[in-house]
Amino acid sequence: MLSQTISHTLRTPLYERHRFFHARMADVGGWELPTAYGSQIEEHHVVRADAGMFDLSHMCVVDIHGTDVRMFLGKLLANDIGKLKTQGKALYSCMLNNEGGVIDDLVVYYLDDEYFRIVLNAHTASGDIQWIHSQIVATNSSVTLVPRRQDLVTGDAEPLAIIAVQGPNARERVFRAIPSTHTAETVRPFNSITVHDAAVGELMLARTGKTGEDGFELIMPAKHAAQVWDMLRSAGIHATGLDAWETLRLEAGMHLNGRDMDPQTSPFDAGLGWSVDLGSERDFVGKAALCTRRQTRKFVGLAFEGAAVARTHSQVTSHQGEVIGKVTSGTYSPTLRIAIALALISPDIQFGSYVSVDVYNNRVSARVVRPPFVRDGSPVQQHDHA
């Protein structure tokens, strides 16, 4: 679970809505956020079977403008920005340091030839922005960076909020809540559209998310966030907390920066090699290091026989007692009804084999599997034995 003791924290534009509906609030990376509104397990199943919504306004939208913005992003990001040719198209990429380690993983949207939008992870946002500014200086670029999160916004830029609506009925419910000339079928995966609603102004609907379910991430002016939240609730979308988001993303085998990867982890170690463009002549930050960096770890899933959850950093050992890696994220899977984990282990360990994990001072056996554990709401059948 994500819950911790609340201290001095930041609050999103939806804070009062969460309190009104009696959400359990906790400090999540410096933000006072809803971890659950009732049963975490029920909220998890609602997203798998119907539609749930999450307040992700602690994540950071950054708009980037300029005549050479495409060239700049081509140097900044490991994935090929040249893939973005259609307005609204999205691209997942890692942003690397000079040593080829992951500073952040992010989604970038092409809005026009001089305007892109990036969504950064919450806890790395401030450092990410400093890094991007340093690269603007290093490349002598003329691009302008405009943070849109309420605590980072400057000048006359309007702060934005993010609501993720996820689940098999998510898209249909969103268009029921927010009338549009578009339909649930017109927005393709990893694409976005902009909807103009008379009541709440401009909303960006991006068909992205980290739950393993279909749906949208809605980006809107922070001043309209509560109204949009109420419109979505009126369309039958359930309010869900971040504890359910955590179990959903782990079942889907999706990474969380700071746990499953960090600046010391290469995208190849983290299982994100598919998002790195080494095949072209394009240079980007970290490319030279990746070309010579040997893979030292492999990103895997661990399926346990029981319900005891392994903590982050729990040691993974072979049955001969040799330390071969560590757990990066662990949880109880409501869909599978067993404990699961993500881990970085020796690349020599084969899928289908068994390892031992330190769980509350006990050595527990787990099977090494390929993430995800759940796809389209159903358990993935694992057939890896070599």
* DSSP state letters, 202-253: EEEEE---SSSS-EEEEEEEGGGHHHHHHHHHHTTPEE--HHHHHHHHHHTT
The percent of residues in the chain predicted with pLDDT above 90, rounded, is 88
What are the backbone angles phi and psi of residue 189, rounded to the nearest 5°?
Answer: -55, 145
Kindly provide the b/e burial profile for residues 202-215, where b requires at least 16 CB atoms within 10 angstroms of the residue's own CB: ebbbbbbbbbbbbb
Distance CA 331, CA 380 (A): 17
Reply yes or no on whether the pLDDT at 183 is more than 60: yes
Topology classification of domain 15-59+158-250: Gyrase A; domain 2 (3.30.1360)
Helix pair 40-49, 242-251: axis angle to 10 deg: 50
Mean pLDDT of 351-357: 96
Cβ(65)–Cβ(72) under 8 Å?
no
Fold agreement between 15-59+158-250 and 60-147:
no
Angle at 232 between CA 6 and CA 151, to 5 degrees: 40
Kindly provide the b/e burial profile for residues 279-316, where b requires at least 16 CB atoms within 10 angstroms of the residue's own CB: eeeeebbbbeebeeeeeebbbbbbbbeeeebbebebeb
pLDDT value of residue 305: 87
Topology classification of domain 60-147: Alpha-Beta Plaits (3.30.70)
The encoded tokens of residue 6 equal 């609340």
Alpha carbon 223 to chain centroid, angstroms: 24
Binding residues: 217
What is the tens place of the pLDDT at every residue in 88-98?
999 999 999 99
Strand residue runs (E) in 233-371:
238-239, 298-304, 315-317, 323-333, 338-345, 354-359, 362-369
Return all residues near 275 (Cβ < 8 A) that are at least 6 apart: 78, 79, 92, 93, 94, 105, 267
Reply yes or no on whether the pLDDT at 316 is more than 80: yes
Distance CA 156, CA 143 (A): 18
Mean pLDDT of 358-386: 86
What is the tens place of the pLDDT at every residue in 93-136?
999 999 999 999 999 999 999 999 999 999 999 999 999 999 99
The three-state secondary structure class of 117 is strand
Reply yes or no on whether the pLDDT at 385 is more than 50: no
Other Cβ atoms within 10 Å of 365 Cβ, number:
13
Sorted by where each begins, the domain ranges of the chain are 15-59+158-250, 60-147, 297-379
Binding residues for substrate: 217
Question: Which one-letter DSSP state was computed for residue 350?
Answer: P
Question: Which one-letter DSSP state was computed for residue 10?
Answer: B
Q: What's the mean pLDDT when you consider all of the chain? A: 94
Reply yes or no on whether the pLDDT at 195 is more than 50: yes
Determine which of 174-188, 240-254, 273-287, 345-359 has the lowest per-residue pLDDT on average.
174-188
CB-count exposure of residue 274 (10 Å: 0-12, 13-18, 19+): exposed
Reply yes or no on whether the pLDDT at 180 is more than 90: no
Q: Which CATH architecture has domain 297-379?
A: Beta Barrel (2.40)
Q: How confident is the model at residue 184 (pLDDT cuts 50, 70, 90)?
A: low
pLDDT value of residue 8: 65
The full length of the chain comes to 386
Cβ(317)–Cβ(277) under 8 Å?
no
In angstroms, how far is the first alpha carbon of the chain from the final one?
33
